[in-house]
Amino acid sequence: MLGEPVIHTRFGSGKVTAFAPPRMEVTFDDGAVKVFPYPQAMERFLRFESPDAMQRALNDRQRADVVQRESEMARLEENRRRAEAETRQRLEAIREKKVAAARRTAARSAMARKAKAEAE
């Protein structure tokens, strides 16, 4: 990709002067040097003049999009698992509080029956 001629929608024609994915540096005909995310900028802002280079860039972009979607899906799945674990913990805490309250009520009732029996 190094040295490949490109066309930018705003800056015009230029050449790739540094290529180290995920970044690509382009020097334009007016001398401006810009750094673009590779392959995300391809087809949106930049196009290689060579059809072969453009096809490689589009293939790279498709692979990057798949990786990004898979990463997002994994992040969402992890968030879902965490939320479920937190919900289970909250429900368990509520259940424990209810059990403790029921035991206290039962103990009070038993003490009240014992006190009543002793009073008689």
User: 48-87 pLDDT, tens per residue?
Assistant: 999 999 999 989 989 988 998 999 999 999 999 999 999 9
Share of the chain above pLDDT 70, in %: 100
- Whether residue 57 is contained in a domain is answered as yes
Q: What CATH code is carried by the domain that includes residue 11?
A: 2.40.10
- Whether residue 51 is contained in a domain is answered as yes
- Whether residue 113 is contained in a domain is answered as no
In 1-120, beta strands by DSSP E: 5-8, 12-20, 23-28, 33-37, 46-48
- Whether residue 36 is contained in a domain is answered as yes
- Whether residue 99 is contained in a domain is answered as no
- Whether residue 18 is contained in a domain is answered as yes
Q: Which amino acid is at 70?
A: E
- Whether residue 67 is contained in a domain is answered as yes
Give the chain's length: 120
- Overall pTM surpassing 0.75 (yes/no): no
Domain of 21 in residue numbering reads as 5-76
- Cα separation, 62 vs 60, whole angstroms: 5
- Is the predicted pLDDT of residue 14 greater than 90, yes or no? yes
* Structural domain total, the chain: 1
